[in-house]
């Protein structure tokens, strides 16, 4: 697979601690014609809605000539002190992300963490 602009996008950007909303996003490199998107995770405490995170991320990536697709959302509990992340819940606007895929993306940046997921809760 050739290196495209999407490969330069960070896999994960999440807050260092607390409970917050997140979205799972596919990133497509429009210019390369690459058919296989890159999945990224974005989660922040500042977001009132999942769409706030997606819109912010999509706007940044659009400036790099990258397309995006939101695959759903949920919540993350990030306990950086004990190296634990829990992924759960859903987004009312985007639906539930595949938390198993989210965990796979998170493990790239947090290989020494215990990362679990559940479809329970909001």
Catalytic residues: 50
User: Please, which residues have CB within 8 angstroms of residue 67's CB and are 6 or more apart in sequence?
Assistant: 27, 28, 30, 61
**Token pair of 115 as six digits:** 């990362």
d(CA 15, CA 38): 21
Q: Are 19 and 75 in contact (CB under 8 A)?
A: yes
How many Cα neighbours within 13 Å face the side chain of 7? 8
């Amino acid at each position: 697979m050739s290196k495209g602009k999407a490969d330069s996008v960070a896999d994960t950007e999440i807050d260092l601690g607390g409970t917050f909303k997140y979205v799972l996003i596919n990133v497509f490199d429009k210019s390369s014609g690459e058919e296989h998107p890159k999945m990224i995770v974005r989660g922040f405490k500042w977001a009132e809605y999942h769409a706030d995170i997606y819109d912010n991320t999509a706007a940044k990536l659009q400036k790099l000539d990258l397309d995006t697709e939101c695959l759903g959302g949920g919540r993350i509990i990030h306990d950086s002190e004990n190296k634990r992340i829990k992924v759960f819940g859903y987004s009312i606007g985007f639906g539930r992300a595949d938390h198993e895929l989210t965990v796979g993306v998170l493990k790239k940046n947090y290989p020494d963490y215990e990362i679990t997921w559940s479809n329970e809760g909001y």
